[in-house]
Amino acid sequence: MEETLKILVVDDDEVDRIAIRSALTTAGVQMELSEVGDSHDAFSILSTTAYDCVFLDYRLPDRDGLNLIQQLHSSEIKVPLVVLTGQGDEQITLKLLEAGATDYLSKSRISPETLSQVLRSAIRIYRAEMQADLANQQIRESHEQLTCKNQELERQQQQIQMQNLKLLEASRLKSLFLATMSHELRTPMNAIIGFSQILLRPKFGQLTQQQTDMVERILNNGKHLLMLLNEVLDFSKLEEGGLDLKAEIFDVSKIINLVVSEMRSLAEAKNLSLLVQSDLQNPLVFNDPVRIKQILINLLSNAIKFTESGEIWVEVKELTANRVVIIVQDTGIGIAPRDFKHIFEAFRQVDQTITRKYPGTGLGLAIIDSLVRMMGGKIFLKSKLGVGSMFKIELPRQITLPTVAANTPASQLDNDGFVCPGKNPHHSSSQANTASR
């Protein structure tokens, strides 16, 4: 069923009003028609009642149609408006449309067809305009919301940047503190070690057995403390990028044998066999011998520390002509896959409690990790709880100086199927679990 339209005719001429009414009736428009004779009454009725369309005579007794349209516009009264113009009003039509009229029709053209056509197209145009207005309004609102959200994001980003700066500063101060403290503590520690060694020499007087025991303890504890201090110092230097590799050509198997012989007494004290196998066609490498030694000492002391019975193997071999592999393997407590990634982080240990069985700073593997990255190498870890661990270090035969790769993960998938903890931290299998760094 066709909708009933509420139509208002604003015209002071009774004949014209009748013409419009009869044309609309003849056209079959279902309507509720109201009529007023001047713009004052038109404004009053339009202020209180909603109409589907208004036919407005341009020439009204009190003021012209343009004036009324402007008043309606400034009062935000919206309605489809068709202005009926007379002879000579043609030049005003553009202004009428600009002011807000929906359409215009010359009175001389009024007929049932034209009037109903103008009526329907005015209503259609008006509704389309309303929809466009609504969409514009929604766009404006969402634009405002987006602007607000953007502002909020910018504010949060600024806060994060501020916090980052604070964190960087705190981390810089922490590194500085660690470096200063460990450096300052090393001087008295060296004196303690030096004087204990002097006291143990017979030419400075014979000590009783009890005194010798005590001085030896001072010496051993001093050495241990110095080692811890050196770890902290190295770590803070590595963090600040202040540690340089001093590369030279040397025989890597000689260094390995030297470290193994230095550590043998520690292994023997725990009844562990310490086996070493060097399988190199060419034992010469270009690297920093002090740092290679440090890596080995760390890996070996961990292997000894975390193994209660069984064996420890150290192996060095060539992977290719340009790559050398050092392997340290034990039959110790092993490492669970969930800990593979964390143990390479600074100050991280599998057992983080203060009552833990195994002492240490938790810096050894973090230092090894950084050094191996600097050397352009990779670390692979293969371990199974209760069975043992294997740390494999792959290094270029000749390192490039300076190799600044501290932020580049050394971890990758190994040809042997070693798994990177970063890529698969929860990897577990019935076989020995593996990881690479």
Which of the stretches 75-83, 248-256, 296-304, 417-425 binds ligand ADP when contact is defined by CB under 6 A?
A: 296-304
Report the side by side order of strands in the sheet with 323-330.
Answer: 273-279, 311-320, 323-330, 388-396, 378-384, 433-436
CA 391/CA 232 separation, integer angstroms: 22
Under rule CB under 6 A, which residues in 373-432 are in contact with ligand ADP?
A: 389
Based on the shown chain and the rule CB under 6 A, indicate whether residue 312 belongs to the binding site for ligand ADP: no
Tokens for 240? 């600040």
Q: Which is nearer to ligand ADP, 72 or 420 (CB)?
A: 420
Told to check if 85 binds ligand ADP by CB under 6 A, we report no
- Binding mask of the shown chain, residues 110 to 129, with x at each position contacting ligand ADP by CB under 6 A: --------------------
Q: How far is the CB of 353 from ligand ADP (least distance, A)?
A: 11
Contact segment (CB under 6 A) with ligand ADP among 216-224, 283-291, 295-303, 398-406 equals 295-303
Going by their DSSP bridges, the two strands 433-436 and 378-384 should be labelled as antiparallel
Whole-angstrom distance, CA of residue 162 vs CA of residue 140: 32
User: 37 or 334, CB closer to ligand ADP?
Assistant: 334
Using CB under 6 A as the binding rule, whether residue 337 contacts ligand ADP is answered as no
Q: What is the CA radius of gyration of the chain?
A: 46
Residue 139 tokens read as 């766009």
Site string for ligand ADP, 339-378 (x = CB under 6 A): ----x-----xx---------xxxxxxx------------
Select 80 or 364, whichever has its Cβ closest to ligand ADP. 364
In what helix (H) or strand (E) does residue 382 lie, and over which residues does it extend? Answer: strand 378-384
Please choose, out of 60-68, 129-137, 212-220, 302-310, the segment that lies near ligand ADP by the rule CB under 6 A: 302-310
How far apart are alpha carbons 246 and 233 in whole angstroms?
Answer: 17
| Burial zone of 224 (CB within 10 Å; 0-12 exposed, 13-18 middle, 19+ buried) | exposed
Is the preceding omega at residue 202 within 30 degrees of 0, hence cis? no
**From candidates 222, 332, 337, 421, binder to ligand ADP by CB under 6 A:** 332
Residue 230 within binding range of ligand ADP, rule CB under 6 A:
no
Using CA atoms, how far residue 2 sits from 5, 30, 126, 165, in Å, is 9, 7, 18, 70
Instruction: Work out the widest C-alpha separation in the chain, in whole angstroms.
Output: 141
- Residue from 79, 84, 303, 325 in contact with ligand ADP (CB under 6 A): 303
Burial class (CB in 10 A: 0-12, 13-18, 19+), 142: exposed
Binding piece for ligand ADP, criterion CB under 6 A, among 10-18, 30-38, 44-52, 325-333: 325-333
Toward ligand ADP, which CB reaches closer, 253 or 389?
389
Query: Does residue 267 interact with ligand ADP by CB under 6 A?
Result: no
Residue 58 or residue 391: which is nearer to ligand ADP going by CB?
391
Q: Is 296 an interacting residue with respect to ligand ADP (CB under 6 A)? A: no
Residue with tokens 């208002």: 8
Beta-bridge partner residues of 327: 315, 392
Residues within the interface to ligand ADP (CB under 6 A): 298, 302-303, 306, 330, 332-333, 335, 343, 349-350, 360-366, 389
